[in-house]
Structure 1
Amino acid sequence: MAFKTILTVTGVDNSDSDLQTAADLCGQSGAHLSVLVVAMAPPPPIGEYATVSTIWLEQRDRDREKLEASVNHARETVSRTDVSFEIDGVYAEAGTADRDIGDRALYADLVLIGPSVLSQADLKRQVINGSLFQAMRPIMLIPTDSKPSLGPKTVLLAWDSRAEAAHAAREALELMAKAASVHVTLVDPEAARGESGEEPGADVAAYLARHGVNVTVDQLPSAGRPVASVLQQHAVDISADMIVMGAYGHSRVRELIFGGVTKSMLDDAAIPILMAR
């Protein structure tokens, strides 16, 4: 699908480079940039002597002032670009940032997670949970020193014939149709009528080809290596600009639990990854 509204989430201390990267990607696609600056409130005092202390209240006041200053700074930064934009801030109570982010992500086609957020475990978890699980929107991880683009030349589509992978492929259809090549990549596929088909990868390749995608099917053995490592190495081997993949896991009591491959890709991304569930 076309990405007409792109959301990027930042913390109050995030660098301007995340905002500039988001603005550049919006400029590439003519998209509207939505920015949400998140400050997470300290939890209230608990325990035997728990009271609403003056120190705790003063800290909250300082946090709100810092959030306002960060929103104003972000607005000044993005206003120097040529993209249309809107910038808001939210002071999220303990454990609720994912809901606030999810509410905003409902009105975006894609959520960007830049290097600054990727380096903050708590905020990263909240953004992923709110975007993927609550709003059901695709995310794009942008690792440090990577070169993100919404017009990649070579794409690796991680494929396992599951609904999550199919959803990711549909979200990235327009992007893949414009790429020079798309490698549908299967690791240790098994030919089975009810799963991968008698020729693993053939069905999705035909589907993508009907959308004008220049597609190649790569069937790879794991040889005892983790699947994530095989995918990451193959991305290097084919000089991929982006990996497209499904996200596997579930949300329970606002805690994010991912399967092994998804978690490894989230933790060790080297090139931009577009992920959907």
Structure 2
Amino acid sequence: MRLKTIVVFIDISPNSQARIDYAVKIAHRHDAHLTGIYIAPTHWGASPSESFAIGSEAITAVTKFHRDQEHETSKKAMEIFNTAIDNEKISAKFHIIKDSDADQRLRPILLYADLIIAGNPGTNGLPKNWSAETILLAIGVPFLLVPNGWQCQSGEIGARILLGWNGSRESRRAITDSMPFMIEAQAVSVVEVDPGKSAPHGDSLDTDLLLYISRHGVKVTLDSLLSQGRSIATVIMEYAEEHNIDFIVLGAYSHSRSSEIIFGGVTRSILKSMSVPLLIVH
């Protein structure tokens, strides 16, 4: 089970480099095509004083300034991407898309990807007013968020994976969508917090879960933990730190009456404190 088409959103901030390098490593491991996307921001109106430009000469000067700025940042983004893939034997393509054109041009690219990669938090490469939530809801492609400035100490990709499990449809989907990573991992820990509260639970179900995953050749263990007054997110992050986890997988849920909120409290809390890449599926 391999990934064959990967999309990475890049920007020109220093934080973007680690994200691109991580995407290149994944593409190389899976012999996948890597698509780099730079969203060229719409700078017009960024400065209040520009709104007072009067006369054709002044307006032309402001327009030229922003056009030149867009050209320079786009050129720099392309150089960053090309440098990252240089000497790498992978198929790759780079797109520059204006923020104002994102709604129209991005969907056809993202719809046919196996994995989408962006940063977290702040400068993440995504278009203005876009988020991992909106893309997951609209496209359904697994979304990998890489902490800004992330450096993989081991040099491996997901050597030790934590999969959050609660018996839900979303956590079941997380197994399938993360399988390309779990197969390659040295160890996978399926972690459930306060078992039995959110879904039917029992030794036979635990055994069936481990058998299902292990049949794919995954080295997997199941750890059932008690929150004891702590938040589920805290339990997960403490476990991740204690066991040197370098890749977390979670299933994002959706409310039946809402098409906007799909990240629950656990996911949101982990997003705020994540120190390792987080794969979110829906």
Same fold (TM over 0.5): yes
State the 1:274 CA deviation.
1.6
Q: From the superposition, tell whether residues 79 and 190 of structure 1 become closer, same or farther in structure 2 (CA, over 3 Å).
A: closer
State the match for 1:35 in structure 2.
36
Q: Which of 65, 87, 93 is the aligned partner of 2:94? A: 87
1:108 and 2:109 aligned: no
Report the secondary structure of 1:271's partner residue: coil
Give RMSD over aligned pairs.
3.5
Q: Structure 1, residues 12-33: CA drift from partner, whole Å, max 9, x if none?
A: 4454443333223322222221
In structure 2, the residue matched to 1:128 is: 132
User: Which consecutive unaligned segments of at least 5 residues does structure 2 have?
Assistant: none
Matched, 1:209 2:210: no
Answer yes or no: is the 8 Å Cα contact 2:41–2:70 preserved in 1.
Answer: no
Query: 2 CA distance for matches of 1:141 and 1:197?
Result: 30
> Partner amino acid for 2:143?
I
Identity of aligned residues (%): 27
Contact 2:37 2:96 in 1 (8 A): yes
Q: Summarize the alignment of residues 165-184 of structure 1 with structure 2, pairs less than 5 Å apart.
A: 165-184=171-190
Task: Sort the Cα spacing of 1:43 and 1:29 in 2 relative to 1 into closer, same or farther, 3 A.
Answer: same
Q: Could you say which residue in structure 2 is the equivalent of 1:161?
A: 167
Q: Which residue of 1 aligns with 2:122?
A: 119
- For 1:58-103, what per-residue CA distance to the aligned partner results, in whole angstroms no more than 9, with x for missing partners? 565345323532343235424523122100111022xx74664443
SS at match of 1:243: strand
Change (3 A) 1:128 1:249: same
Q: 1:78 to 1:178 in 2, by over 3 A?
A: closer
d(CA) in 2 for partners of 1:128, 1:138: 10
TM-score, normalised to structure 1, is 0.80
Unmatched segments (≥5 aa) in structure 1: none
SS in 1 for 2:130: helix
Distance 1:68 1:121 in 2: 16
* Closer/same/farther in 2, CA of residues 99 and 221 from structure 1, 3 Å limit: farther
After TM superposition, list the pairs within 5 Å mapping 1:113-262 onto structure 2: 113-114=118-119, 118-120=121-123, 123=126, 126-143=130-147, 144-147=149-152, 151-190=157-196, 195-199=199-203, 201-249=206-254, 258-262=263-267
- SS of the counterpart of 1:3? coil
Q: 1:9 to 1:271 in 2, by over 3 A?
A: same
Aligned residue for 2:245, secondary structure, equals coil
Partner of 2:274: 269
Amino acid at match of 1:215: V
Note if contact 1:110-1:138 (Cα within 8 Å) is conserved in structure 2.
yes
Partner of 1:11: 11
What letter is aligned with 1:38?
A: I
TM-score (norm 2): 0.79
